[in-house]
Amino acid sequence: MYLSPKMKAEDSITLRVLVLALVIVGIVATDIAAGTKSSLWAAPMSVLGTVWSYSHRREPNISAKFCMSIGMLAALGSFFGHLFGELNDTRLALAELLIQLQVLHSFDVPRRKDLGHSIVIGLILLGIAATLSQTLEFAPMLLVFLAIALPTLVLDYRSRLGLEELKIKNEKLKKRDNSTLNF
């Protein structure tokens, strides 16, 4: 079984890599601001999930979705455990939950809409890092995020409009120009 025509898979490797970079920057920024080490496991698992998701983007992945659901329930249980341990400040517990959910989500990102969700999660993680940060160590991560976000948003917009890659258009123009010169 493959995705229905309504559920068109996103084929742009560049867009996927940039979205992954945004998520990793958000995770690392949260680690820097909170003094945690989630990025040591979350970044490699996100890369693995993105690669796996790309290679299986046209399949329904029912077993993967089932495993992700179990993992999300475990993450929710872990969140409630941390929440009751730290009733004064829940930002870090929420950030950890969001990181865990994003890592699980990275294993099933076939469509552009799913990539958009990952972009928003990266932005939310950056916002959490901004609220947790008490030094200027966070500032370079903000600049890196912005440098990656701008081309990512351009590619996402082009994908939403259904525009082909620029080099394909250039090749078509060259072929058309060559064919008109032959007359």
Blockwise average pLDDT, block size 10, the chain, 183 residues? 61 91 95 92 96 90 93 95 83 92 92 89 93 87 94 88 63 59 54
* Six token digits for residue 33: 């601001």
Q: How far is it, in rounded angstroms, from Cα 164 to Cα 32?
A: 38
Query: What is the identity of the amino acid at 98?
Result: L
Put simply, whether the predicted model's pTM sits higher than 0.85 gets the answer no
Instruction: Tell which residue, 111, 99, 116, 127, has the closest CA to residue 153.
Output: 116
What was the pLDDT predicted at 10?
A: 83
End-to-end Cα, the chain, rounded Å: 48
Are the CB atoms for 31 and 38 separated by under 8 Å? yes
- Which residue blocks in the chain are alpha helix, DSSP H? 13-34, 39-55, 62-85, 91-105, 112-132, 139-161, 166-181
What was the pLDDT predicted at 62?
A: 92
What was the pLDDT predicted at 174?
A: 60
Residue entry with tokens 């958000």: 26
What was the pLDDT predicted at 1?
A: 47
Q: How far is it, in rounded angstroms, from Cα 127 to Cα 121?
A: 10
